[in-house]
Amino acid sequence: MSLPRFEYLAAQTVAEACSLLSQYGKAAKVIAGGTDLLVKMKERELTPKYVVSLKGITDLDYIDYDKVKGLRIGALTSNDSIAGSVIIQKRFGLLSEAAAKIGTPQIRNMGTIGGNLCNAAPSADTAPPLIALGARVKLVSPKGERTVPLEEFFTGPGETVLQIDELLTEIQVPKPMPGARGVYLKLFPRGAVDIAAVGVAVLLILGEDGACSDAKIVLGAVAPTPIRAKKAEAIVKGKQYKNGVIEKAAETAAKEARPISDVRCSADYRREMVEVLTRRALVQIFKAR
């Protein structure tokens, strides 16, 4: 199927892109890697009259780490660059794990982290680990800029807090706490390059005695947006590795999920797999200590 007709506008700066979005409003859509937008346009889910390309804004492609301020990732950084970054692998391992599980090598090379987040699919692989890591996103418009916790960025399937003239330009991740250990696990229902039917990101802060002082359990593809399983987190906090604790936390996470049935799998199966993946992630982290 061919693409609908549209006017292609190549922005060279963030200010120019925001100005174009302000000018054309709902008739315009942003394109970075195009791995989501072009598919939706071919299927006529979206038919923008104007497509604003960000490819010319080369200063939005970067990975920068500071020992005090933490990690900064430009919105146009490819998922492949994130998966292959030594600093991310070393200090933010669950994020590199998630990026490496996105689609095929071609998709990872084309797709950007900003696009993965702004597409706002409940199954977006980078969202659960970034929420677990306490990430914030920088949003820029002609009126100025603001930062928003990623946990508050998503409002529904395909929907975010982005205003019509705003761009997501940067992802900011704080320096990990001492003892932080994380895992991202994903259910592939039909093959190794499929969209996640369930995604689970778990981040624990473990003390020298093995007790968990803090926990983040974030679920993807089982609610309208990525969600934290806060009741399950509370069960793990202050506890050491015990099967009873892990089983109860995993069961609780499954109850907190709000899945639907679709072509990938049923709601019941999704809920069951939330329990399985949460349990696996918790065991993996505690045992790796």
pLDDT per residue as tens digits for the range 213-239:
999 999 999 999 999 999 999 999 999
Question: Can you give the pLDDT at residue 116?
Answer: 93
Q: Say if residue 193's pLDDT is above 60.
A: no
Contact call for residues 14 and 32 (beta carbons, < 8 A): no
In this structure, what token pair is assigned to residue 166? Answer: 């705003």
Average pLDDT over residues 2-18: 94
Give bridge partners of residue 112 from the DSSP assignment: 78
Q: CA–CA distance from 98 to each of 22, 95, 244, 249, 264 (Å)?
A: 33, 5, 28, 22, 19
Q: How many CB atoms lie within 10 A of CB 57?
A: 22
- Which amino acid, one-letter code, is at 70? G
**pLDDT tier for residue 192 given thresholds of 50, 70 and 90:** low
Question: Can you give the pLDDT at residue 30?
Answer: 95
Quote the CA–CA distance of 78 and 75 in Å, as a whole number.
8
Q: How many CB atoms lie within 10 A of CB 69?
A: 12
Dihedral of the alpha carbons of 200, 205, 207, 208, in degrees to the nearest 10: 60
Question: Can you give the pLDDT at residue 105?
Answer: 82
Closest to 153 (Cα-Cα) out of 176, 141, 174, 171: 171
Q: Say if residue 190's pLDDT is above 80.
A: no
Hey, which of 48-52, 190-194, 195-199 has the most confident mean pLDDT?
A: 48-52
Question: Can you give the pLDDT at residue 66?
Answer: 95
CA 53 to chain centre: 22
Q: Say if residue 96's pLDDT is above 80.
A: yes
Q: Which residues contact 135 (CB under 8 A, 6 or more apart)?
A: 149, 150, 171, 172, 173
User: Considering the chain, what is the average pLDDT of its residues?
Assistant: 93
In this structure, what token pair is assigned to residue 228? Answer: 């934290």
End-to-end CA separation in angstroms for the chain = 51
Contact call for residues 10 and 53 (beta carbons, < 8 A): yes
User: Using CA of residue 82, residue 193, residue 278, residue 283, what is the dihedral sign?
Assistant: negative
Average pLDDT over residues 114-140: 96
pTM of the model: 0.95
Question: Can you give the pLDDT at residue 69?
Answer: 92
Angle at 48 between CA 45 and CA 54, to 5 degrees: 110
